[in-house]
Amino acid sequence: MTVRLLPCGRRAVLVETADVLGYQAAVAELAPDGVEELVPAARTLLVRFDPSVTDAGRLGAVLRQVSPVDSAAADAGEVVIPVVYDGEDLAEVAAETGLSVGALIARHSGGSYVSAFCGFAPGFAYLSGSDPALHVARRSSPRTRIPPGSVAIAGEYSAVYPSASPGGWRLLGRTDVPVWDVERDPPNLLPPGTRVRFTVVAS
């Protein structure tokens, strides 16, 4: 697999790759000298290193030899999230996708998801694996406040809002499961690599 390496200051290298989780799992398994942190995003992996141990040139030579592995073999376990499917955008998304509300719920809850990366807010995990039929655009006008626990979709991702915030994702439902809790160790319930399933519960 072809990867592109970009220097990122004195302490990091940015890796562009089509299989971020697989590449991350391979680097974690290899554990190159000096690597301090791996930060995945949608199409990149930030590799932070200790410049007293290695440098971008030496580390880059190692990273170019890395081949992605099956990230499922090194994942962070599975989390089941019960969802009440009564979101404000449920009917609109069903109409847009040509599905009935029941079929939309069945497809979303029947999916197998993986936390690909976290961003936007602490604990906001971008869950990959959505049914292609459910790939819809964000709202043209974002809401000023989305309640914590809202289950939403946008583009190719699903997510659970960890806290109240503005947002433009399409709301399908809600859950009582706290995906971010500063009193918990670790606070993030859905770190990258975590497998996620949604289950339907009555309101």
Are 166 and 186 found together in one domain? yes
Of 31, 51, 70, which residue constitutes the final position of a domain?
70
Are 95 and 155 found together in one domain? yes
pLDDT value at residue 202: 86
- CATH code for the domain in which residue 20 is found: 3.30.1360.40
pLDDT value at residue 71: 60
Are 60 and 130 found together in one domain? no
Nearest CA to 89 among 141, 11, 38? 141
Are 58 and 96 found together in one domain? no
End-to-end CA distance of the chain: 46
Q: State whether residue 16 is helix, strand or coil.
A: strand
Are 189 and 163 found together in one domain? yes
Range of the domain at 145: 78-200
Write out pLDDT tens, residues 1-13: 678 999 898 899 9
Nearest CA to 201 among 79, 83, 81, 80? 83
Instruction: Report the distance separating Cα 21 and Cα 116, nearest Å.
Output: 7
Are 54 and 82 found together in one domain? no
User: Which residues on adjacent β-strands are paired with residue 168?
Assistant: none
Of 33, 49, 70, which residue constitutes the final position of a domain?
70
Q: How many domains is the chain built from?
A: 2
Cβ-based neighbour number of residue 118 at 10 Å = 22
Residues of the chain with pLDDT below 70 are 1, 70-76
pLDDT value at residue 44: 92
Are 82 and 46 found together in one domain? no
61 contacts: CB under 8 Å, gap ≥ 6: none
Instruction: Report the distance separating Cα 148 and Cα 180, nearest Å.
Output: 10
Are 136 and 177 found together in one domain? yes
Are 180 and 93 found together in one domain? yes
Are 55 and 124 found together in one domain? no
pTM of the model: 0.81
Q: Which long-range contacts (CB under 8 A, 24 or more apart) does 127-132 make?
A: 127/157, 127/158, 127/159, 127/190, 127/196, 128/156, 128/157, 129/158, 130/156, 130/157, 130/158, 131/107
Are 90 and 110 found together in one domain? yes
Of 54, 70, 86, which residue constitutes the final position of a domain?
70
**Dihedral (C-alpha) 85, 86, 87, 92: value to the nearest 10 degrees?**
100
